[in-house]
Amino acid sequence: MSQEGIVISVSGKGGVGKSTVTALLLKVMVDAGKSSILAVDADPDSNLADILGVKAHKTVAMVASKLKQDIAAGRFPPDFSKRDYFETKIFEILCEEAGFDLLVMGRGEGEGCYCAVNDLLTSILDTLSKNYSVTIMDMEAGLEHLSRRTDRDVDVMIVVVDRSRLGYLTAKRIKELAREVHIDFKRILAVGNNVEPEFEETVRKRVVEAGLEFAGFIPSDPNIASYDLEGKSLLELSGDSPAVKAAKEIAEKLGLI
């Protein structure tokens, strides 16, 4: 698989550590000097931005809400397409950080605000991702993003699992649903997070039985808990941290570094 323009989506059930795994993979890519990286915080709760220590003052949801208000009030320029407007604003709200750019989806205000722009956003992300060598997206929990086809042009789907039965079943269902809605990932694989050593073999076996490639385990790391309590960015973790070492091995396996 070519490293140019690769799009990675990180998914799984709620609470398995999708944002942490995304942040760790981003960190090891930045530390390795990987250029032109776009991180997308596609979870409405914006956990990735918090974990990375990035203050996003504007989100995609805010832009979408303003667009809807302008259209309703008749303030939208007749010679300016909605896509052109939206795409321009998306570029304006990108957070430019050291080693990567971050786009934050945010939570919509009002019923349907967040979901109403998904088709438009997906199209714009298709265009935006072409400007980066790697785009890594921290998705919302569950399966809804798949049913909305938000992942239709993803190259690699990473499903984060823990040792719970629900984590494994969610991974299996993600693979099945992707097939049902005709999303053709080049690779779909699982990463185990916070799995105790005595359960690793069982988790690995379940993942393989479900037809997913297994990429490795991110071990429990007290440094991550400490950074969370202190409000420090995971990008500041030492390269000797167990979770960082494991993330580096997974990134190497994916050809990201």
* Span 201-232, pLDDT tens digits: 999 999 999 889 999 999 999 999 999 999 99
**Which residue from 37, 88, 95 is spatially nearest to 66, judged by alpha carbons?**
88
- Go through the domains of the chain in sequence order and give each one's CATH number: 6-253 (3.40.50.300)
pTM of the entire structure? 0.88
- Which tokens belong to 193? 């997070």
State residue 2's pLDDT score.
41
- Which tokens belong to 59? 């989100």
Query: Which of 1 and 50 is assigned the larger pLDDT?
Result: 50
CA neighbours closer than 13 Å in the CB half-sphere of residue 237: 30
pLDDT digits (tens, 9 = 90+) for 11-70: 988 889 999 999 999 999 999 999 899 999 988 777 899 999 998 888 888 887 887 787
pLDDT digits (tens, 9 = 90+) for 137-147: 998 765 555 54
Instruction: Give the separation between CA 91 and CA 111, rounded to whole angstroms.
Output: 25
DSSP string of 110-124, one letter each residue: STTHHHHTHHHHHHH
Give the confidence band of 119 by pLDDT, cuts at 50, 70, 90: low
CA neighbours closer than 13 Å in the CB half-sphere of residue 46: 18
- Which tokens belong to 247? 């993330």
Mean pLDDT over residues 138-157, rounded?
66
Q: Is 84 exposed, middle or buried (0-12, 13-18, 19+ CB in 10 A)?
A: exposed
